[in-house]
Structure 1
Amino acid sequence: MYSIHFYENNMYILNQALRNIPAVDENVRIKGRNGKVVSVMRMDENRYFVYVEFEIIVDKRKSAESDLRKKRR
């Protein structure tokens, strides 16, 4: 088992004990967010730092509200 520490832009996200080490460009899902592994760094024998880039979530409600405001005028 490996201790995998997930980071996004040097901000700590999650620590998991996994049997497999994520590979670069692998798609991952953490805390309900989809992301892609950017890099993997080995710190110790069983400890790895994995840097992830998450997809940008667009809030659909805000765009819908702005459309309604435009139509009312």
Structure 2
Amino acid sequence: MYNIIFYEKNDHVLSQTRESVPEEGDGIKLKGRKGNVVSVETGEDNIVYILVDLAKKIKE
């Protein structure tokens, strides 16, 4: 199990515990927003930092 921390630019988006780690370039959906994995960095123990590029929110 991996503790995965998702970031967009410098903002923390989501933390999750997962069995697998997404790879660079993978499509991902977080909090109802689609995006792509930009980079993956491994930290201490089972902590993985993932930089994502999410689609812009459309204001109505």
Q: Using structure 2 for the length normalisation, give the TM-score.
A: 0.91
Structure 2 gaps of 5+ residues are none
Question: Superposed, which structure 2 residues align to 1:1-73 within 5 Å?
Answer: 1-59=1-59, 61=60
Runs of 4+ in structure 1 off by over 3 angstroms are none
Q: Root-mean-square deviation (CA), in Å?
A: 1.1
Which structure has greater strand proportion? 2
Q: Report the structure, 1 or 2, having the larger helix content.
A: 1
Bigger relative CO (Cα 8 Å, ≥ 6 apart): 2
Classify the secondary structure of the residue corresponding to 2:6: strand
Rg (Cα) greater in structure: 1
Taking only the aligned residue pairs, the percentage that are identical comes to 33
Unaligned ranges ≥5, structure 1: 62-73
Any idea what the Cα deviations from partners look like across 1:12-36, whole Å, max 9, x if unmatched? 0000000000100000000000000
Q: How many residues align?
A: 60
- Report the TM-score, using the length of structure 1 for normalisation: 0.76
For 1:3-57, what per-residue CA distance to the aligned partner results, in whole angstroms no more than 9, with x for missing partners? 0000000100000000000100000000000000000010112000000001224
